[in-house]
Amino acid sequence: KHSYADKNPIIGENKSTGDQFLENTLLYKKFFTDLINFEDLLINFNSKEMAQHFKSKNVDVYPIRYSINCYGGEIDRTACTYGGVTPHEGNKLKERKKIPINLWINGVQKEVSLDKVQTDKKNVTVQELDAQARRYLQKDLKLYNNDTLGGKIQRGKIEFDSSDGSKVSYDLFDVKGDFPEKQLRIYSDNKTLSTEHLHIDIYLYEK
């Protein structure tokens, strides 16, 4: 839960690197200029082909970082992520797009304002959308809080549905591992969706 509640996503535009640590990674040296604790950024993918696809290309990044069990860049000065990469050229919208959310709690639909999830990309990673959506759910509905901290939600699913028929869904409570290094691996496929007619469906249950 802390990955979504406590950490701001890494946002970078028009970045490029030819450096790698392993075949399925990209290493951006001197990436951070405004974070005291970090200098380099290491991005992991689930295949070497994906890393090769973005190697030496101008890209935009929007991933959630982790630092425990992160190796490959400057020692103790590197942040790691999984995916979160899109092409920089030809992928920008003229203005930011607000992605509508349909939310049901115990089968009853609730109104959600349009400002919760936004992007400036024609094709966006699911990670960018999911990070914003879960941050909203944690902040407003205490999604991952236990009973003593006001949490009531026990089960939930989130679906990202694009106009071309592409759909990605996650069980919001099927979190793998105890640390972000494992929990965030769901984004290593760097899955993207078209933002044309894109919407998000969220189903939450209190029991």
Where are the domain boundaries for CATH 3.10.20.120 in the chain?
Answer: 92-205
CB 46 within 8 A of CB 189: yes
For residue 4, pLDDT over 80 is answered with: no
Residues 101-145 have pLDDT tens digits of: 999 999 999 999 999 999 999 999 999 999 999 999 999 999 998
Reported pTM:
0.94
The pair of structure tokens assigned to 24 is: 């399925």
Does residue 40 contact residue 26 with C-beta atoms inside 8 Å?
no
Q: Rounded to whole angstroms, how far apart are CA atoms 174 and 182?
A: 12
Q: Is the distance from CB of 64 to CB of 180 less than 8 angstroms? A: yes
Contact in structure between 96 and 120 (CB atoms under 8 Å): yes
The distance of Cα 64 from the centroid of its chain, to the nearest Å, equals 6
User: Bridge-partner residues for 105, per DSSP?
Assistant: 108, 204
Phi/psi at 201 (nearest 5 deg)?
A: -110, 130
Of all residues in the chain, what percent are helix, strand and coil, respectively (each to 5)?
20, 35, 50
Report the CATH architecture of 2-87: Beta Barrel (2.40)
Right CATH number for 92-205 from 3.40.47.10, 3.90.850.10, 3.30.300.10, 3.10.20.120?
3.10.20.120
Structure tokens at 45: 């993918």
Tell me the sheet residues that pair with 109: 104
CA–CA separation, 198 and 164 (whole Å): 9
Task: Kindly report, residue by residue over 35-75, the tens digit of the pLDDT.
Answer: 888 999 999 999 999 999 999 999 999 999 999 899 998 88
Q: How would residue 85 be classed by pLDDT, with cut points 50, 70 and 90?
A: very high
- Give the pairing type, strands 123-125 and 92-98: unpaired
pLDDT band at 3 (very low <50, low <70, confident <90, very high): low
Which residue intervals of the chain bear CATH 2.40.50.110?
A: 2-87
